[in-house]
Amino acid sequence: MRKFNYSNLKNRTWDIKIINYLTQIHEEKGKQQLFLKQKPEELEKLVIIAKIQSTESSNEIEGIRTTNTRLKQLVNEKTAPKNRAEEEIAGYRDALNIVHENFDAIPITPNFILQLHKVLLSHTSTSYGGKYKNVQNYISGTNENGESYTLFTPLSPFETPIAMQELCDEYNRALGEGVVDPLILIPLFIHDFLCIHPFIDGNGRMSRLLTTLLLYRSGYYVGKYISLEAKIAKNKDLYYDALYDSQIGWHENEDDATPFIKYLLSTIINAYNDFEERVELVSDKKPSIEVVRMAVNSKLGKFTKRDILELVPSLSSTSIERSLKELCDSGEIRKEGVGKSTYYIRLK
């Protein structure tokens, strides 16, 4: 059976890429503390935007979608869910709000993880919210012929409760010892959680909620202002590749989670990099065209409307499209391609 032992990590030598990631994140954490003191109003705008993006993106990774209008209404609790997809979205909203508002009062224990899962599925009619799986589940892929095949077999239902207890105990023990950087322990915990795959449904969404929770509890608050879920959704192929590479030999305790550690650390760094830029974009009340121009000037090479929307999600898609057209007309950028293949190139 799989054993969880993070003790040997204190003697582990990490490659230069991981060391650089850790150094950068520690530096960015310090910078963010200054912004928290200097620009609280601007940061509150980012919180609202990030909640919408996180709720949308984490569900979209699982193929759960609704319209933009309905999404905003659901996140802001202005409407009730109309269908199963919206019930899932409302559940993620509630679970994310709990993490945002109560992270320091949520210990990492199986009981609290089960409670969070119950909240995640609380708007659905399912009976397995807050309960571990009672049937074997599989992580599957689809080949080029559309045929499904098994990528990874998680632990059995019988093994799951014991494994979850051992995982939480080992994480808390290693964190309490203080000899391993939390930024190493957090990806390892999430990786092992996904390999256990403790629930019939909601494992991916729970892993992203737990990522945010663990980061908050260790003082890394970037996910409150920049959606980590949106970052993962944008590069979900890299996410799945890193997870697959890290799962090899997991049952035999011969796995190497380095690919997943690098992936998650790089995602956190990308979020911190965006943080400072977005604070600047929402700092002053500027006309839409000026905000879009600032976002465009931060891009190198080709970019899309979606790229700009990610940088300035406070603007509507229509406002951004209108501003991009003005910038094209003024000769500042050039539009190429048509339809979904449309992209822009900066000329000045």
Neighbours of 258 (CB within 10 A): 17
pLDDT score of 155: 96
Non-local CB neighbours of 10 within 8 Å, separated by 6+ positions:
177, 179, 180
pLDDT score of 197: 97
Q: Per mean pLDDT, which range of 137-151, 168-182, 200-214 is the poorest?
A: 137-151
Strand order across the beta sheet in which 333-336 lies: 302-303, 343-346, 333-336
Alpha carbons 10 and 34: distance in angstroms, whole number: 31
pLDDT score of 283: 63
- Across the range 97-108, mean pLDDT stands at 96
In the chain, pLDDT over 90 holds for what percent of residues? 70
Whether pLDDT at 221 is above 80: yes
Buried/exposed 309-336: b ≥16 CB within 10 Å, e otherwise = bbbbbbbeeebbeebbeebeeeebbeee
pLDDT score of 284: 60
Q: Which of 88, 225, 166, 32 is nearest to 75 (CA)?
A: 88
Q: Which of 313, 157, 170, 323 is nearest to 253 (CA)?
A: 170
Residue type, position 240, single letter:
Y
Q: Per mean pLDDT, which range of 161-170, 204-213, 243-252, 278-287 is the poorest?
A: 278-287
What 8-state DSSP symbol labels residue 343? E
- Across the range 43-65, mean pLDDT stands at 89
Whether pLDDT at 277 is above 80: no
Neighbours of 84 (CB within 10 A): 13
CB 138 within 8 A of CB 152: yes
Alpha carbons 271 and 30: distance in angstroms, whole number: 14
Q: Calculate the average pLDDT of the chain.
A: 91
CB 205 within 8 A of CB 92: yes
**What's 7-136+149-281's CATH class?**
mainly alpha
pLDDT digits 0-9 by tens, 79-90? 999 999 999 999
Q: What are the beta bridge partners of residue 150? A: 140
**Segment holding 204, helix H or strand E:** helix 203-217
**Segment holding 139, helix H or strand E:** strand 139-142
Q: Thinking of the domain 291-346, which architecture would CATH place it in? A: Orthogonal Bundle (1.10)
What 8-state DSSP symbol labels residue 250? T
CB 270 within 8 A of CB 238: no
- Across the range 232-245, mean pLDDT stands at 92
**Which residue, chain included where needed, has tokens 């949308």?**
56
**C-alpha R_g of the chain:** 21
- Across the range 185-195, mean pLDDT stands at 97
Q: Which of 158, 185, 157 is nearest to 169 (CA)?
A: 185
Q: Per mean pLDDT, which range of 19-23, 209-213, 251-255, 301-305 is the poorest?
A: 301-305
| Count of residues in the chain | 348
Helix (H, G, I), strand (E, B) or coil at 149: strand
- Across the range 216-240, mean pLDDT stands at 93
Whether pLDDT at 41 is above 80: no
Non-local CB neighbours of 178 within 8 Å, separated by 6+ positions:
none
Alpha carbons 211 and 164: distance in angstroms, whole number: 16
Residue type, position 242, single letter:
A
- For residue 345, what are its two tokens? 């190139």
Name the residue with higher pLDDT: 325 or 276. 325
> Chain-centre distance of CA 163, in angstroms?
24
DSSP readout, 273-304? HHHHHHHHHHHS---HHHHHHHHHHT--SEE-
Side-chain half-sphere CA neighbours of 20 within 13 A: 5
**Spans of all domains in the chain:** 7-136+149-281, 291-346
CB 345 within 8 A of CB 333: yes
pLDDT interval class at 261 (50, 70, 90):
very high
CB 119 within 8 A of CB 98: yes
pLDDT score of 205: 97
